[in-house]
Amino acid sequence: MPDTSLAHVLTSEGWELLNSLGPYLESESFKLNTDLRKAGHSPEVVAAVLTQAKLRMKARAKFGPFSEHMLFTAPGLEQATRLNVAALHAQRYVEANLEKIADLGCGIGADSLALATLDRQVTAVELDEITAAAATINLMPWPNATVVQGAAEDFDLDGFDGVWLDPARRTTSTSGTTRIFDPEAFSPPLSFVEALAGRGLPVGVKMGPGIPHEALPANCEAQWVSVDGDVTEATLWFNALRRDGVRRAALVIGPNGAAELTSSLDYAPGSEDVAVGPVDAYLYEPDGAVIRAGLVADVARSLGGHLLDEHIAYIGAPELLETPFARAYRVLEVRPYNVKALKAWVKANGIGVLDIKKRGMSVTPEELRKQLLTGSGKGPNKATLVLTRLGEDRVAIVVEPVASGQAA
């Protein structure tokens, strides 16, 4: 069933009411709902306006102050590119001297907004009528941006210098949204993207970060992106938008800026030239973008370290070195993984707050934490456990996080 609530917001009454509200507060929403209806606004308009106010508040994480003047659909906001990442997408088109860009499957218009801000001529194409309406509002401040409602596959690209796509990777129903993992089930599918690239068009496409390496087209650059530790996307770049000598890249964006690690080679599991060894003085947990891009071995070498297991993304190293590509922990102790013994250890050390990380073990950290802390009292101390395999052995490594800036 299509979402028509945005239609109520787009009336003069709904638009004025939305923009008259202050910041959305969940604790005050019931009272505000009642007050607005007492003031004579219909239940449909009030519900639509409050929904939009809530979406604007949620969108601040992606769009900052821009969100205060934008319109959203819930699925559109969920899939929308963060504005700082969209700016990096747009910069590629600028550096390639591409002027006229088609944004196929524009959603609420995040990437088109970034392209228009950098003075590109943008045509944003969106199949869904309600989402296209939101994109039209969001792009109104930019006369160099136009929204067209229609299917990406049917849009005539004659005269365009480049193409950006963000295929729909979720299905929407009354119960919410469901992720799609098959690239050929996306809308439009990956084969459509490859066909555009096969025509020589400069193409960029945003994919889910879980796309397997074997599904990557042979003639593209694949760049995995993380923002504040959250892997947000894998972007594929073709033709003039692809960088020479880059096949795989991990772009890590954090509070101290952006850092990138690249490789010119296809990912070949098991072929990395890196040693496997025991737990060392420091344990490093690579960023998710590094793991997805298959660049863990590269980080291990840069740290003078080794993998704890050839199939697990934990790195051991004798020294503490600063790196944007991994989180560092100081190793305090290595214990066998035994729940009864760990529970006794928690109690003996007065641990009341326990952070559990794991790789290579079928353990649910939340359940284990509850199991270890139950009956131990609320101790004053905090601890971090890393659960993993060392060969055939399952171990619990007691570590403490190293604050940024402490490394050499």
Domain count, the chain: 3
Same domain, 219 and 183: yes
pLDDT of residue 182: 80
Q: Of the candidates 367, 363, 370, 366, which has an alpha carbon nearest to the alpha carbon of residue 387?
A: 363
Which ranges in 246-338 belong to alpha helices (H)? 288-292, 296-302
Residue 201 placed within a domain? yes
Residue 408 placed within a domain? no
Residue 157 placed within a domain? yes
Same domain, 43 and 164: no
Q: Of the candidates 166, 113, 103, 109, which has an alpha carbon nearest to the alpha carbon of residue 144?
A: 113
Q: What confidence tens digit (pLDDT) does each residue in 160-192 have?
A: 999 999 998 766 656 666 777 788 878 888 999
Q: Of the candidates 107, 104, 111, 85, which has an alpha carbon nearest to the alpha carbon of residue 172?
A: 107
Q: Domain holding 168: CATH number?
A: 3.40.50.150
Residue 226 placed within a domain? yes
What range defines the domain where residue 397 resides?
282-401
Which residues does 279 contact at the CB level (< 8 Å), separation at least 6? 308, 316, 331, 334, 390, 395, 397
Residue 93 vs residues 119, 161, 288, 356, 382: alpha-carbon distances, Å? 11, 9, 26, 42, 48
pLDDT of residue 175: 61
Same domain, 120 and 238: yes
Residue 272 placed within a domain? no
Residue 349 placed within a domain? yes
Of 204, 230, 263, which residue is a domain's last? 263
Same domain, 44 and 190: no
Same domain, 168 and 99: yes
Residue 42 placed within a domain? yes
What are the tokens at 145? 């941006």
Which residues does 198 contact at the CB level (< 8 Å), separation at least 6? none
Same domain, 254 and 348: no
Pick out the chain residues at pLDDT < 70. 1-4, 170-177, 271, 405-408
Same domain, 30 and 82: no
Same domain, 130 and 241: yes
pLDDT of residue 334: 97
Same domain, 48 and 93: no
Query: Are the C-beta atoms of 48 and 14 separated by less than 8 Å?
Result: yes
Cα distance between residue 121 and residue 139, in whole Å: 12
Query: Are the C-beta atoms of 224 and 249 separated by less than 8 Å?
Result: yes
pTM attached to this predicted model: 0.91
Same domain, 81 and 54: no
> Which run of H or of E encompasses 257?
strand 257-263
Same domain, 185 and 331: no
Residue 30 placed within a domain? yes
Same domain, 205 and 101: yes
Cα distance between residue 298 and residue 390, in whole Å: 21
